[in-house]
Every structure is written in structure tokens, then in C-alpha cells.
Amino acid sequence: MTQQHTHIALVTGATDGIGKEVARQLALQEVHVIIGARNPEKGEAVVQAFKEKGLEMDLVQLDITVEKSVEAAAAELERRYGRLDILVNNAGIALDRGPLSEMPIEDFIATYETNVFGTFRSTQAFLPLLRRSERGRIVNVSSSLGSLLSMTDETSKYYHVLLPAYASSKAALNVLTVHFARELKDQGIKVNAVEPGLTATRAVKLEGAHPVEVGAEAPVRYALIDDDGPTGGFFDRFGAHKW
């Protein structure tokens, strides 16, 4: 066990897309980053690629939908570091296809299993390590699709985006954010939900999407906020986001 690192961060779902870029940007800020990866071979390839660029990274096998995997990851980080300063809950999926009335309930359940229950499971598991930090931070990567105001505002660019399982899972994630923030406020742990914006990734190829470097800005910013920073909020790279 060692505590020589200034800050230790775990990023879930960090082998691709926004999570991978969040990991890179945190490492550039001299944070020791742990890549959480379902597939350890893919995770190791990402870690080695970053190390070749001079960025300090580590790997832990982590599938947030599997309780034993989460428990094993928490035990491994306990053994290696004895604490955790930053948890970025980035892992998420979107399985929506077709209208809600025809969507298989299995897809709805699977979406919640990752985006809500998985995030809840991992947050609970890593809280003992976060409580040992002098400045614990939890960032939940959410979405404007989880904003009821965005979903009901006909002028919103998200109004006609019909991803009900994904959207409702992110709304649920926002509620979890508020409740965790309230519970942990007096323990010095800040918990915020962050919207990366429409980001171009391997899975998202839409006109107007910004690059992952931009999408990662807000998650990184709120992972590194000072002690006088906010908690229990919903933010994007421009500031407070409507609920």
C-alpha cells in the first residue's frame, strides 16, 4: 500500500470515448489515474499507450454490473493505495431502438443495470476509500437527456431525441447525485453530476458533436474542484445546467 501520490482517481468505462479522455486529462494534471475496464486486455493496451506518452496510469478490472467484480476492484485499490480521492462514474450504455411502446423491457433493464444500479453499486463500494481522502470527489457523467426541463422544452435541441431508457436512467442518476451529495456533505466529499455535451465518439457520430477533448472538460473540472466548490449540482462546461 502506498499514499505517495498527490491525488488518486478511478475512472470507470475508461477504455474509450469520454472516459478515456477524462483519464488522459486528469493524468496531465499529475493525478495518478486508475483505468476501470471490463476487458483487462483492452484496458492494459490503453494503459500502455498512455505510459508511452509519459502519463502515469494503472489498471483495475471492473464491471460495475457485477457485484463480485466491484468488490474485488475495491479490495485491490485498498491493497494498492489505501484511499481514493476521485471517482468518475463514467461507464454507461444506451440501448434504445425504436419507440418506447415497442422497446424490449430487457433493454430497459440492462440500461438501468449499468447507468443507475452499476453506478450506485460502485459508489457504495468505493466510499470507504473516498472517506480516507482529504478531498474526496465524485463525478457522475450524466446527460442533458436526463434533464426534465430539456425533455419538456420544445425549443431544446434535445426535445426530439427519443432515447427514453437512456434519458430516464440519467434522470435517476441525477437524483442519486443529489442524495449522495447531501449525505456526504459533512464528510468533505463533493458529489456532482456533469453533462459532457454532444460528444463525437466511436458510438456517437452526429452533426454538431464536439471532440472528446471538449466533452471531457467538465468532468475533469469538477473532479478537481477546490474545497469551496459546489456539491449536489448539475453542470456542463459552461456552468450550472438546468435540472
Q: Is 143 a catalytic residue?
A: yes
Four-residue CA torsion sign, 170, 11, 87, 117: positive
54: cell is: 509519459
204: cell is: 456517437
113: cell is: 443495470
Contacts with 209 (C-beta within 8 Å, 6 or more apart), sequence order: 198, 199, 200
Place of cell 456532482: 192
SS3 assignment, position 26: helix
DSSP state of 210: B
SS3 assignment, position 117: helix
Q: Is 122 a catalytic residue?
A: no
Alpha-carbon distance values, 40 to 35, 36, 129, 205, 227 (Å): 10, 9, 22, 26, 34
Count CB-CB contacts under 10 A for residue 71: 12
Q: Which of 122, 143, 147, 150 is catalytic?
A: 143
Alpha-carbon distance values, 24 to 9, 156, 164, 207 (Å): 11, 31, 31, 25
* DSSP per residue, 135-158: S-EEEEE--GGG-HHHHH-TTSTT
64 close to 125: Cβ distance less than 8 angstroms? no
Q: Which of 133, 147, 170, 190 is catalytic?
A: 170
The residues annotated as belonging to the active site are 143, 170
